[in-house]
Amino acid sequence: SGLALAPEKKPLTATSYGTGELIAHALAHGFKEITVTVGGSAVNDGGVGMLRALGYRFLDARGAEVGCGAQDLQKIVSVDGGGRMAALSDCKFTVLCDVSNPLLGEYGATYVYGGQKGLSGEQFARVEAGMVHFADVAEQYLGIRCREQAGMGAAGGMGFALKAFLDAEIRPGIETVLAMIGMDERMAAADLVITGEGRTDAQSAFGKAPAGVGEMAKRRNIPVVLISGALGDGFERLYGQGVHVAVPCVDRLSSFKYVTRHAEEQLKRAASRAAKLIAIGRQIRGKCTR
């Protein structure tokens, strides 16, 4: 289901079935606690493919099983869970996600991340309508409502499927990782925090690493410098989440080939510019305190 593993982008037909197969394999081998890390997916199927691999059936008006791609969501009228794997009932699921988006709407799975998966033009509205329809059917079948919760839009809606159908605990991936490495204790003695990201844009504010690091540093009143491979639209959102300045590595018009071949050199130049900004700030502060 991973975007980096997909030979080509097929946003209407790509499914999370393979992720479901991995979970089924773990269940078949007796695992009782499973952590699913979701992010960077090539799918926008609401997790239907994953659930199908675990024994759920999604039926159309004639009672026939529908496909499990984004283009099929609108066809679903009922859910049959009679064939779900029995081992699911004895398994605790935890989801680590790197985004906090809800399932639907302007900041949901389709409109925020659909473009990077290959959606374009009228496909956005079409797929969003299918996702709304699927959420209606699923929540009515399960007797719950969780579409608005943070993380439901992760991995093309897999966060929603895992929470709604498998009662998974949704945890922010960045908070979990920061706790594992003892970042809060490390920050206690820091005067400055430097973090990084491959590409920074509006999506980065929704649970990505710079947002998590920035918020933690903000609580300690520690300034944060973000060095990013490139800056895209909306990166400024991070300025309200503890990041003080974002410095791009790509500082001139260049081909992708040039950028990848000279990544180390560009990173050094970005670090140098960041250091100069810090030096300017210290100099100004020194003059103000005289």
Condensed to tens digits (0 to 9), the pLDDT of residues 73-131 reads 999 999 999 999 999 999 999 999 888 899 999 999 999 999 999 999 999 999 999 99
Mean of the pLDDT values across residues 44-59?
A: 97
- Report the distance separating Cα 153 and Cα 159, nearest Å: 6
Total domains in the fold of the chain: 2
Q: Which domain holds residue 39?
A: 3-174
Task: Indicate which CATH number applies to the domain containing 36.
Answer: 3.90.1510.10
SS3 of 172-234: EHHHHHHHHCCHHHHHCCCCCEEEEECCECHHHHCCCHHHHHHHHHHHCCCCEEEEECCECCC
Whether residue 83 sits in one domain with residue 216: no
Q: What is the pTM of this model?
A: 0.77
pLDDT tier for residue 203 given thresholds of 50, 70 and 90: confident
Which of 109, 143, 174 lies at the terminal end of a domain, its last residue? 174
Whether residue 37 sits in one domain with residue 163: yes
Whether residue 141 sits in one domain with residue 190: no
Whether residue 162 sits in one domain with residue 253: no
Taking only the tens place, the pLDDT of each residue in 251-272 is 888 888 888 899 999 999 999 9
Whether residue 46 sits in one domain with residue 15: yes
Whether residue 43 sits in one domain with residue 105: yes
Whether residue 235 sits in one domain with residue 146: no
Whether residue 94 sits in one domain with residue 34: yes
Whether residue 48 sits in one domain with residue 69: yes
Task: Indicate which CATH number applies to the domain containing 198.
Answer: 3.40.50.10350
Whether residue 239 sits in one domain with residue 153: no
Q: How many CB atoms lie within 10 A of CB 172?
A: 19
Task: Measure the CA dihedral 199/201/205/210, to 10°.
Answer: 30
Which of 174, 189, 207 lies at the terminal end of a domain, its last residue? 174
Whether residue 188 sits in one domain with residue 170: no
Whether residue 195 sits in one domain with residue 130: no
- Between 131 and 176, residue with greater pLDDT: 131
Which of 120, 149, 174 lies at the terminal end of a domain, its last residue? 174
